[in-house]
Amino acid sequence: MFGVWVPGDQAAKAEVSKLTYYGLYALQHRGQESAGIAVSDGDRIVVFKDMGLVAQVFDESVLNTLRGHIAVGHCRYSTTGSPTWENAQPTFRPTDAGGLALVHNGNLINTRELAEELPAGTLTATTDTEVLTALLCAREGGPLQAARHVLPATRGAYSLVFMDEHTLYAARDPEGIRPLVLGSLEGHGGWVVASETAGLDIVGARFVREIEPGEMIAIDADGVRSERFAEARPKGCLFEYVYLARPDTTIAGRSVQATRVEVGRRLAREHPVEADMVIPTPESGTPAAIGYAEASGIPYGQGLVKNSYVGRTFIQPSQTIRQLGIRLKLNPLREAIEGKRLVVVDDSIVRGNTQRAIVGMLRDAGAAEVHVRISSPPVAWPCFYGIDFATRAELIAGNLSVEEIRDSIGADSLGFISLDELISASHIAKDRLCRACFDGVYPIEVERSERGKHLLEAGR
Ligand code: SF4
């Protein structure tokens, strides 16, 4: 998510739609199914969205038609609702005063309960985001007034950026599960909100602070106004450190890259092995592989070449695409790995398909031994807060022991970092983190009726 506000007299110079485009470009790793931008010129809001990557959806001529001084943008991967145009964001609804455009990162867990407050026939799409947008438009008194009522009743993960014709708003759930940061555009006297600090960097915005859990801000000609709609109960997503966030992003004052390298060092101490070379599964395994090599003294090298133009494998929704994706994505460097005992460092094992394919590829290419090291604990529980790990039945660690997983992926040995070491490397206290996909302790209780097929299939 990305949002920008500049003073009206700076609109032509600042080109908010292009700033948003660049911001989304930097945040593309967070969602690759659809992209959209809404822009207000002070009188009306125009939305453009479509299926595809940011660079496929927008070109210069489209961006030139999106003129104004406020914009919100989004790149989506679906966790609720199917990947269709109707479910792409921003969502837009007309109101008595004009309109409201909203983007959302996260996943609500009381969508059905919230939807019951809406008159029948209100919804046109199938997402929690659509329900939230409709609720914010259903009340009189403007978005801020509506949000004061709606957000305290909203449960789950929601980092939000929304706008009417005149004001940019941002809010974060009381647990602060998904990140959201505020930056300033020094040259234009403007403000930016983004899912990650990497989204600020690309447009030259200065990091100001994180939006606090339970905080809502409004930005207009009077500056930034902040208020609380709930007490903060911080439970930031631990998986952001492992996989989701960019390495050049900073969370809670610490770079994600530094955390990942440190996790790699600890992984080497927890799961040492005699080997000739440490290689990463590029790119997300790279920082931890650097740390592993550093702490173990085993040389670091490249053994797999990644095609950078293929998206992250598990983010894509269907199993058919996912399996094809693995073959499209990585190719072994035969001359670098032939006859060598390899340590392959990856960020996580979700279904096990990627690692099984990689181990097979490396053996076919002549590796003498393949030792797999994973910079997160086994993902054994589904996520209800915005990561699509699917059902517990599909999670390999939900069903198999470490030794059984090793056997299933065909590795000579397998080691996962322990949860305590991962948490310690993040420099965040354990009770301020969500780590439910690793330990099954859900910080926001998920009603049985909201668990959908995920946990019901797992028999919980
Ligand atoms: S369950 Fe895992 S992925 Fe989901 S919010 Fe918690 S730590 Fe993050």
98-112 pLDDT per residue, tens: 999 999 999 999 988
pLDDT at residue 9 above 80?
Answer: yes
How many angstroms is it from 336 CA to the middle of ligand 1? 36
pLDDT band at 180 (very low <50, low <70, confident <90, very high): very high
pLDDT for residue 389: 74
Non-local CB neighbours of 57 within 8 Å, separated by 6+ positions: 34, 35, 36, 48, 49, 50, 51
How many angstroms is it from 237 CA to the middle of ligand 1? 5
pLDDT for residue 456: 34
pLDDT at residue 307 above 90?
Answer: no
How many angstroms is it from 83 CA to the middle of ligand 1? 21
pLDDT tens track for 54-74: 999 999 999 999 999 999 999
pLDDT at residue 458 above 60?
Answer: no
Assigned token pair, 6: 């500049």
pLDDT for residue 455: 38
- For atom 2 of ligand 1, the residue with the nearest CA is 437
Give the least confident one: 192-206, 241-255, 318-332.
318-332
What would the mean pLDDT of 372-387 be, rounded to a whole number?
A: 94
pLDDT at residue 319 above 90?
Answer: no
Residues in the chain: 460
- For atom 4 of ligand 1, the residue with the nearest CA is 383
- For atom 8 of ligand 1, the residue with the nearest CA is 237
Q: Which residue type sits at 97? A: A
Assigned token pair, 261: 């390298």
pLDDT for residue 314: 45
pLDDT tens track for 199-224: 999 999 999 999 999 999 999 999 99
pLDDT at residue 124 above 50?
Answer: yes
How many angstroms is it from 378 CA to the middle of ligand 1? 12
pLDDT tens track for 133-146: 999 998 888 999 99
pLDDT for residue 146: 94
How many angstroms is it from 389 CA to the middle of ligand 1? 10
Cα-based distances in Å from 25 to 14, 49, 74, 149: 17, 14, 10, 34
Q: What is the DSSP track for 390-416? A: --GGG-HHHHS-HHHHHHHHT-SEEEE
How many angstroms is it from 231 CA to the middle of ligand 1? 21
**Mean per-residue pLDDT of the chain:** 91
Cα–Cα distance, 121 to 198 (Å, whole number)? 40
Ligand 1 atom nearest residue 237's Cα: 8
pLDDT for residue 457: 35
Cα–Cα distance, 289 to 304 (Å, whole number)? 13
pLDDT for residue 391: 78
How many angstroms is it from 245 CA to the middle of ligand 1? 13
Cα–Cα distance, 217 to 144 (Å, whole number)? 9
pLDDT for residue 309: 66
Protein residues whose CB sits closer than 6 Å to any atom of ligand 1: 177, 237-239, 383, 385, 387, 434-437
pLDDT for residue 327: 65
425 or 326: which carries more pLDDT confidence?
425
How many angstroms is it from 300 CA to the middle of ligand 1? 30
Beta strand ranges found along 52-175 (DSSP E):
70-76, 91-95, 98-105, 159-163, 168-172
How many angstroms is it from 362 CA to the middle of ligand 1? 31
Closest CA to 107 of 175, 189, 170: 175
pLDDT for residue 293: 98
Is the whole-model pTM more than 0.85? yes
Ligand 1 atom nearest residue 177's Cα: 5
pLDDT for residue 87: 85
pLDDT band at 311 (very low <50, low <70, confident <90, very high): low
pLDDT for residue 79: 67
pLDDT for residue 454: 41
Ligand 1 atom nearest residue 386's Cα: 4
pLDDT for residue 166: 96
pLDDT for residue 283: 86
How many angstroms is it from 437 CA to the middle of ligand 1? 5
pLDDT at residue 416 above 50?
Answer: yes
Per-residue DSSP letter, 285: T
pLDDT for residue 77: 82
Cα–Cα distance, 360 to 350 (Å, whole number)? 17
pLDDT tens track for 384-409: 998 877 678 889 998 899 999 999 99
pLDDT band at 82 (very low <50, low <70, confident <90, very high): confident
Ligand 1 site-directed mutation target among 77, 107, 108, 238, most atoms within 8 Å of CB = 238
Give the bridge partners for 369, in sequence order: 341
How many angstroms is it from 443 CA to the middle of ligand 1? 10
Ligand 1 atom nearest residue 443's Cα: 6
Assigned token pair, 253: 């004052």
pLDDT for residue 328: 73
- For atom 5 of ligand 1, the residue with the nearest CA is 237
pLDDT for residue 284: 84
Ligand 1 atom nearest residue 157's Cα: 5
What would the mean pLDDT of 222-235 be, rounded to a whole number?
A: 97
Give the least confident one: 19-33, 39-53, 123-137, 202-216.
123-137
How many angstroms is it from 110 CA to the middle of ligand 1? 17
pLDDT tens track for 257-301: 999 999 999 999 999 999 999 999 998 899 999 999 999 999 999
- For atom 3 of ligand 1, the residue with the nearest CA is 239
Ligand 1 site-directed mutation target among 256, 437, 439, most atoms within 8 Å of CB = 437
Query: Which string of b and e fits 261-275 if b means at least 16 CB within 10 Å?
Result: bbbbbbbbeebbbeb
What would the mean pLDDT of 368-387 be, rounded to a whole number?
A: 95
Cα–Cα distance, 273 to 260 (Å, whole number)? 20
72 or 187: which carries more pLDDT confidence?
72
Ligand 1 site-directed mutation target among 155, 387, 428, most atoms within 8 Å of CB = 387
pLDDT band at 459 (very low <50, low <70, confident <90, very high): very low
